[in-house]
Amino acid sequence: MDAALEKRQVERAYELYAPVYDFIFDWIFAPGRVAAVKHLDIQRGDSVLEVGIGTGLNLPLYPPACRLTGIDLSAEMLDKAVERVQTLAMPNVTLKVMDATSMDFADDEFDKAVATYTISAVPDPVAVLREMRRVVKPGGVLVTLNHFRSERRVMGWLEDLVAPLCTRLGWKSNLALGPLLAAVGLEPEVVARANMFNGWRLVKCVNRK
């Protein structure tokens, strides 16, 4: 599928999701989100980037002493994140509409970066992870939380089968973890199962440039 067309499909999907996103994704996927932010091991003064911050469901999980920047492709989602920032009174948060495949940040700008339920929802996951690696300092931490293609033969086949439909709904059902990390030059320090049925994987990498 053409990348520009897929990007428009993702944008349309998340415009539709915005009003109900919190209801669907908050309680079901909360355990994974909590674990992902915990694995960042945020220290006082750390600069943290959240890619695909959406409506800001992760905002309450961040310590107030960190400097958080959140980006998302959907302005509709970010409108809700802005409201959440104001409600929580978080002065050290910056929110920007931005394409994660081409971030407007300098090299080595952040101490840590995280993407929860985002990598499979972008047209070019390799480009996004490469950009995350570029903007994180050497020795910094990258955490992703995502559904990846099952290593079980039958389940992987089923995920391949429904992939075209899932793409129209705004995410990839058959994104493989190993080839993704290899393409970006990352090796996992931690791979942990998360959420219901252990269907999602939390991956922590150190940016060894």
Distance between CA atoms of 202 and 195, rounded to whole angstroms? 10
The token pair at 152 is 């079980």
What is the domain-level CATH number for residue 121? Answer: 3.40.50.150
pLDDT band at residue 198 under the 50/70/90 scheme: confident
Please tell me what DSSP assigns to residue 195.
Answer: S
User: Of the ranges 126-135, 153-162, 192-201, which is most confident?
Assistant: 126-135
Rounded percentage of the chain residues whose pLDDT exceeds 90: 56
Q: Which residues pair with 190 in a beta bridge?
A: 204
Name the amino acid, one letter, at 157: W
Number of domains composing the chain: 1
Distance between CA atoms of 157 and 152, rounded to whole angstroms? 9
pLDDT band at residue 21 under the 50/70/90 scheme: low
Full residue range of the structural domain in which residue 21 is found: 3-206
pLDDT band at residue 5 under the 50/70/90 scheme: very low
